[in-house]
Structure 1
Amino acid sequence: MTIDVTVRREIPLPPEQVALYAMDWRHDAEWTQGIRTAELTRPADGGGFGTGAEVTRTARFLGRRIDYVLRVAAYEPPRLLDMVSVVAPMPMRVTYSFDPHPRGTLAAIRVRGGPGGPLRLAAPLFARQVRSSLTKDLRDLERRLTEEQGGL
């Protein structure tokens, strides 16, 4: 794998509330940069969403359409969601974590993977773009949840 990027943000809400929203694939397009659609294309062995489930996402990244499938490798709500690509233009692992923090939740997204072969030379540029997107994702997650909280 060529990149390993982690971004963290304190969100002033309990981990259970943040994780409930962020771990639900039906909300992916609402707060995750570039994702246009997300669909549960394979349920977990016990049904629904969980370890073994697969989510197909269509995204735009660096101006290109990317279709990829992520398989849930670990699902431990409200603390952890770990997914690995099983169909993608490049290998990728995406890990979401939500830990208690004195001011609410310490949310983190970690992305490992990226371009291989000759494209690995572009890894530093790719890593910067991923970091920027993840930073926006967590900002948008906080904004969506706190605005929703304020509107109740």
Structure 2
Amino acid sequence: MSIDVTAERVIPVPPERVAAYAMDWRHDAEWTQGIRTAELTGEAPGGGFGTGAEVTRTAYFLGRRIDYVLRVAAYEPPRLLDMVSVAGPLPMHVTYTFDTHPDGTRARIRVRGGGGGLYRLAAPLLARRVRADLGRDLRDLEARLVGHG
């Protein structure tokens, strides 16, 4: 069994501003639940951050330290950042999208993942926890951008 969880929130800020902040790996630990550190450990073929770049994150989830590497599969600011895990405890695919909305930006995060063993058995719990964390991520992202954080 795998998880496929999506959360979204309308943020009263233009998409370009939301994406500029949210797509910058240097801000990951400021608004993403559980992430303690994020580091650009592999640059994109053209240099810097973009398609092909790799970000190593250290996170804590359900009380356990998790180190994983996400490779950027698609980078189309200000609309899309799509990343796939290339190292870590379970396969993971994280997609951020930012679309224009009459009230600002519709920010959406989708996490897909799976695996065997404990992760397979814990999938329902894991999905609920991921959904709650994504909701908090978007709340914290909005707070950072509108000056309440």
TM-score normalised by L of structure 1? 0.95
Distance 1:5 1:122 in 2: 14
**Structure 1 residues 30 and 119, CA gap change in structure 2 (3 angstroms):** closer
Structure 2 equivalent of residue 126 of structure 1: 126
Structure 1 equivalent of residue 12 of structure 2: 12
What letter matches 1:67 in structure 2? D
- 1:145 equivalent in alignment to 2:145: yes
Deviation at 1:118, TM superposition (A): 5.0
For the residue of structure 1 that corresponds to 2:4, the secondary structure is: strand
Deviation at 1:117, TM superposition (A): 3.4
Mind listing any 5+ residue stretches in structure 1 that lack a counterpart? Answer: none
Identity within the alignment, %: 78
- 1:84 equivalent in alignment to 2:84: yes
Distance 1:111 1:51 in 2: 18
Structure 2 equivalent of residue 38 of structure 1: 38
Mind listing any 5+ residue stretches in structure 2 that lack a counterpart? Answer: none
Whether contact under 8 Å (1:7, 1:131) holds in the other structure is yes
Structure 2 equivalent of residue 68 of structure 1: 68
Whether contact under 8 Å (1:114, 1:126) holds in the other structure is no
What letter matches 1:126 in structure 2? L
Q: What RMSD in Å do the two structures reach over aligned CA positions? A: 1.4
Structure 2 equivalent of residue 135 of structure 1: 135
Runs (4 or more) in structure 1 with deviation over 4 Å come to: none
TM-score normalised by L of structure 2? 0.97
Please list the CA deviations of residues 23-48 of structure 1 after superposition, one character each: whole Å capped at 9, or x if unmatched.
00000000000000000000000000
